[in-house]
Amino acid sequence: MPDFSAVSLHTPRLRLRPLRPEDAPALFGIYSDPAFMRYWSTPPWTSIDQAHAMIERDQRELPAGEHLRLGIVLKDAGALIGTVSLFHLDAGCRRAEIGYGIAPAHWRQGYQREAVSSVIDHAFGALALNRLEADIDPDNRASARALEALGFQREGRLRERWIIDGRPSDSAIYGLLAREWFGVNYSPERRIE
């Protein structure tokens, strides 16, 4: 996969770009919020050092093209309100997992749909992926609804796939194919050089 450090996507209300050192306070505010982290696969953050570590890791790893994480920034206010990621990229099978989160103060305003739609366009367009998958807590109704609204299909349930704070947790697996996103005329063999 290409160098992801220069990826920048625009939507009517949002700019999606790699995290920067100055995002640390806002990022910590989001990932330390128990409401945001309720269905996440790790416990809420307890130190801003975790924000610095994520940002430093991204700055180090994005050029290798192994995962893509973008901060979701409100164009008007300039505020960081969430993140969206592609990870577990498999270039041979042209698939990746997708993850996302929006700060609770901004829920139900269409930001997930707007941000994730543009990353799906990028994944199936510029990156020529064929399949995206999402692994969510089966109780996370907001995330399930948000995926279904984008056309993802629920494909199955994996039992006790995670142990979070000592407690086993199931996964609901969702999948979306490029031809479903672009329509029936799309050819899965298509590649963009």
Residue 14 engages ligand COA in binding (rule: CB under 6 A): no
Site for ligand COA in 134-173 (CB under 6 A): 136, 140-143, 145-146, 149
Q: Which of 14, 33, 37, 2 is nearest to 116 (CA)?
A: 14
Instruction: Please give the distance of CA 7 from its chain centroid, rounded to a whole number.
Output: 14
Size of the site for ligand COA (CB under 6 A): 21
The helix/strand/coil state of 85 is strand
**SS3 for 155-171, per residue?**
EEEEEEEEEECCEEEEE
What's the min distance (Å) between Cβ of 143 and ligand COA?
4
Residues 49-88: x where in contact with ligand COA by CB under 6 A, - otherwise, as a string: ----------------------------------------
The CA–CA distances, whole Å, from 52 to 24, 29, 132, 151 equal 6, 12, 28, 34
Residue 113 engages ligand COA in binding (rule: CB under 6 A): yes
Residue 36 engages ligand COA in binding (rule: CB under 6 A): yes
Residue 131 contacts residue 93 (beta carbons within 8 Å): yes
Pick one of 13, 74, 107, 122: the residue that binds ligand COA (CB under 6 A): 107
Residue 182 engages ligand COA in binding (rule: CB under 6 A): no
Residue 174 engages ligand COA in binding (rule: CB under 6 A): no
Q: How many Cβ atoms sit within 10 Å of the Cβ of residue 100?
A: 19
Q: Can you give the binding site for ligand COA, defined by CB under 6 A?
A: 36, 39, 99-102, 107-113, 136, 140-143, 145-146, 149
